[in-house]
Amino acid sequence: MSIKSMPIWKWALLLLAGFVLSFLMYALAQTFTDFIGLRWLQLAAYIVVSGVMLGLYALFVKWFEKSPAGDIPAGRILPETLKGLGLGAGYFCVLVLIMFAAGLYKIDAFGCADPFTLILAFFMFLMVAVGEEIIFRGVLFRWIDEKWGFAVALIVSSLLFGLMHIFQPGATMWSSIAIAVEAGLLLGAAYKYSGTLWLPIGIHWGWNFFQGNIFGFAVSGGDAGSSLIQPSVQGPVILTGGAFGAEASVIAMVLGVLLSVWFIVKVAKR
Residue spans of the domains in the chain: they are 8-268
pLDDT at residue number 120: 92
pLDDT at residue number 86: 97
The verdict on pTM exceeding 0.95 is no
Distances (CA, A) of 214 to 72, 109, 206, 248: 28, 12, 10, 18
Q: Which residues pair with 231 in a beta bridge?
A: 107
pLDDT at residue number 224: 79
Tell me which residue of 167, 152, 176, 146 sits closest to 241, measured CA to CA. Answer: 176
pLDDT at residue number 99: 97
pLDDT at residue number 1: 55
Q: Which helix (H) or strand (E) holds 76?
A: none
pLDDT 10s digits, 163-217: 988 988 888 999 999 999 999 999 999 999 999 999 999 999 999 999 999 999 9
Beta-strand runs (E) in 5-115: 105-110
pLDDT at residue number 185: 97
The CA dihedral of 40, 46, 52, 54, to the nearest 10 degrees, is -150
- DSSP character at residue 124: H
- DSSP character at residue 166: G
Residues of the chain with pLDDT under 50: none
